[in-house]
Amino acid sequence: MDLKLSSFNLHGFRNGLSMLNELCKTCCLIGVQEHWLRDDELDKISLADPDFNYAAVSSMDKAMSIEDC
């Protein structure tokens, strides 16, 4: 079995979801950047392929915080 890896910049989850779905069909491991999802939205990553496992973090909650302005 070949191990195929990919790194993909989504430029926003909605923008890159269809390509992420395609990558799931050919890759074993995908590093995703710039999903722009908040912590409470990270489960949406499973929409790309429900058979894929994922681990995700987000800095969007802090980036969108009014307290930091």
Tokens coding 62: 């802090």
Q: What are the boundaries of each domain within the chain?
A: 5-68
Round to whole Å and give the CA distance between 64 and 69: 9
Q: What is the pTM of this model?
A: 0.80
Residue 60: its pLDDT value, please? 80
Residue whose C-alpha is closest to residue 36's, from 54, 61, 19, 3: 61
Residue 26: its pLDDT value, please? 95
Residue 65: its pLDDT value, please? 62
Q: What is the pLDDT along the chain (69 residues), one digit of tens a residue?
A: 789 999 999 999 999 999 999 999 999 999 999 999 999 999 999 999 999 999 999 988 766 666 554
Round to whole Å and give the CA distance between 50 and 36: 20
Residue 42: its pLDDT value, please? 94
Let me know how long the chain is.
69
